[in-house]
Structure 1
Amino acid sequence: MPLVDHTGEYREFLPADSAVQYLTPSGEAVDSKANYPLPSADRLVEMYRKMVLGRAFDLQATALTKERRLAVYPSSRGQEACEIAAAMCLEVTDWMFPTYRDTVAIGARGVEPVALLGLLAGDWHCGYNPAVYRTAPQCTPLATQLPHAAGLAYAERRRGHPTVALALCGDGATSEGDFHEGLNFAAVFHAPVVFLVQNNGFAISVPLARQSVAPSLAHKGVGYGIRSEQVDGNDPMAMLAVLDAAVEYARAGRGPVLVEAHTYRLEAHTNADDATRYRESAEVERWLSRDPIARLETYLRAHGLLDDAAVDRVREEADKTAAAVRAAMHSERPADPDDIFRHVFATATPQLREQQAQVAAELAAESEEVSR
C-alpha cells in the first residue's frame, strides 16, 4: 500500500522537486539529495561503451538517409543516456516497447544494427523477431505502444512470471489518449510497467510549453496513483540509477512507475524536417554542452576508470561497427513484392488478392517499359 501522510496525499508517488542529477554537465559529481543506489563502476564503463557505439550507429544511419539508403531516420543523438539506460536496466526476460526514435535502445538489446534498420529502409517487417529479443516492433503512432506494454505486463503477472515491461515515449505522446489509457490500466491492474518519457523539448515542432503546464510531465503520474520521478536525461549515472530502481519497484509487485527524462533532440525530427523553422541555433548549442557521452567520460577519467587507451579502443570498435553497417546497407537488398501480401492473413481475402494482382500488373508493365 502507498504511504499516506496526515493530509491524505500520496507522498510516495510525488517526483522530486527538480530532476535527479548525480553529474554536472561538465562531468563532476554533485552532492545529490536523491538516495538511489549508484551503478557500479563496471556498469558505468559499459554504459560509456554502449553510448559511444550508439552515437556512431546513429550518425551512420543519418548519413544513410542522405544517400537514400534509408527512407527516413529519426535521430536520437544527444539522448544516448536515456536510450542505453533503458536497455541496461532490463533483464533478458523483460520486454521493451520502443518508439520510432529508439533504434539505439533496440541495438543495446542485442538486435543487429542492419536488422533494426530494415523497417526504416522500407522492408515489409520490423527487421527482427520481437519474441527473440523481447522487444516489440518500433511504434510510429504516438503512445499506442503504452497500452500494449501495460497489457503484456499484466498478462505476465497473471502467469506468475517476474517480467517487467519498459515502454518508451516522447513528450508529445503524453498529450495522446493512449497515454491515459496505458497509465490508467497499469495503475488499476497493478501491472509491472515502467513508462519512460523522453522529454526532448519538441513534439515535432510543438514545444513543451504548448503541450502542458504541469510542474513536470512526471507529475502526471500522481493523478493515476503511479509512483513518478523526473531525472536529468543527459546524466548517464542518474538515468541508470533511477531506471534500475524503477524496474526493481515494478518487479517487486508494487505497481507501475512513470519516469520523465529531461533531454534534448539535437537533430531535426527526421531527415524530412527543417528544425531551423521553429528553434534557434543558440538553444541547440546550449544542449551540446550537456553531451551525455562527454559527461560520463570526464567522470570516468577523473576516477581512474577510463584512460586514453580505453577510449581509443571503444572508438575503434564504434568506427568498425559503423563501417559494417554502411557496407551492409550499400549492398543489394533482395525484395519480393509478394511479401507485402503474403503474411497479412492466413487465407488471403478477395480484396488482398485484387491488390496483389494490381501490383503484379504494374511491375510487369514497368519491366516491359524498361526492356524497350
Structure 2
Amino acid sequence: MGASRHTKFLLGLLYFTYCVYGNFLSVSSVVALPSNIICNKIPGLTPRQRSICRKRPDAIVTIGDGVKLGLRECHYQFRNRRWNCTNIDQQNTMFGITHSVGSKEAAFSYAINSAGVTYEVTQACSLGRLKRCSCDRSKKTGHYDANGWKWGGCSADIKHGLKFSRKFLDAREIKENARSLMNKHNNRAGRKAVKENMETGCKCHGVSGSCTTKTCWTTLPTFRKIGNYIMKKYGRAKLVTTLKAKRNKVPSHLIIKRLKNKHTKPRRSDVVYLEKSPNYCDHDPLKGSLGTVGRTCNRTSTETDGCDLMCCGRGYNTHQYTKTWTCNCKFHWCCYANCNKCSERTEEYTCK
C-alpha cells in the first residue's frame, strides 16, 4: 500500500489503542513504526492474533469498533439487572469484559462481543474500509432470485464477516479445556445471531410508482435487533458439561447437562454456560462482582430493577431533589417574554 494509506492505518491503530488502553505511544513516533511494532503493543493478543494484526492492521481497528459496539449493547441489555455488564476482574485487553466464572453472563459477553466484531467487519466491507472484501460477489447484479426480483446494489458480505470473526476471536482460545469449548461455542452463537437476522432491502421500479421490477440486496439489521435476539438466547441458556473422547483426556465437545439423553449437544445458536452465576449482590473480586451498593433502583417495580431484587433485601436510601425550570412563557411583540418558574420534586432510590 502507499505510504499515506499505511500511515492512516498506523494512526488508526494508535487512536484505537489510545482510546481503549491508554496512551503508551506518541503521535510523533507512529509514522516511524511498522504495524508489527504496534501490534506487539496491543495487550492480550495470542501469537496467532498478532500475526493477523500484522497482516491486516486495517481490520484490527474494525475489530476494536466491534468490541466497543458489543460492550455498549451489553450495557443496554443489562442496565436494569444486578450485573450491569461491569466487572472488577477486567483485564487490559481488547476483548471487553473478562469473566473468571463460566456463567450465563460470561456466555452473553462472548456472544455479544463476537456479534459486534462480525457486524463491524461486515459493515466495513460494504463501506470499502477493508482491503480484502467489498460487497457480496455471490449476489451478482442483474441476476434474478427465485422470488422473482433481481439482485442489485451492494449486498453485505456476511460470509467474510463470519469467517474473519471466527478466525480472529477463536484464535484466542488456545487452551484445550471446557472453558475454551464454552467460549468458542458462544462466539459461534454470536456470529449466527448476525447471520440469522440479516435483512433484505428492496427498491421498486416502474411507471407512477408501480413495482414492475424490484431490485433487492442483503443488509445488516440494527445492532439492537441482534442484541435483543442474543438476550432471548441468554434467557434460555443451556447448562452444559464436557464429554471426553475415548482414550483422550482432553474434552472433545459439549453436551447439555440434566437431560435424559446424556449425549445431546446444544444447538449452534444456543448460548451455553458451565457454572451457576453468582448473585452479584456483594462485592466479590474472586467472582468478578462489583455488588449492588449504590445502584439506582425502582421502588414500585417488581422486575429486576425493583429495589427489593436489586438491593438483595438490604433496603434502600431515598434521595429527594427539586428540579426548577422556566415554563409557560408568553411572547410579547416585539421584544420580550413573560415566563413562570416551574418546579418538580422527585425522589431517587439507591441500594444500601
Same fold (TM over 0.5): no
Structure of larger gyration radius: 2
Q: TM-score, length-normalised on structure 1?
A: 0.23
Query: By percentage of residues, which structure has more strand?
Result: 2
Q: TM-score, length-normalised on structure 2?
A: 0.24
Structure number with greater CO (CA < 8 Å, separation at least 6) is 1
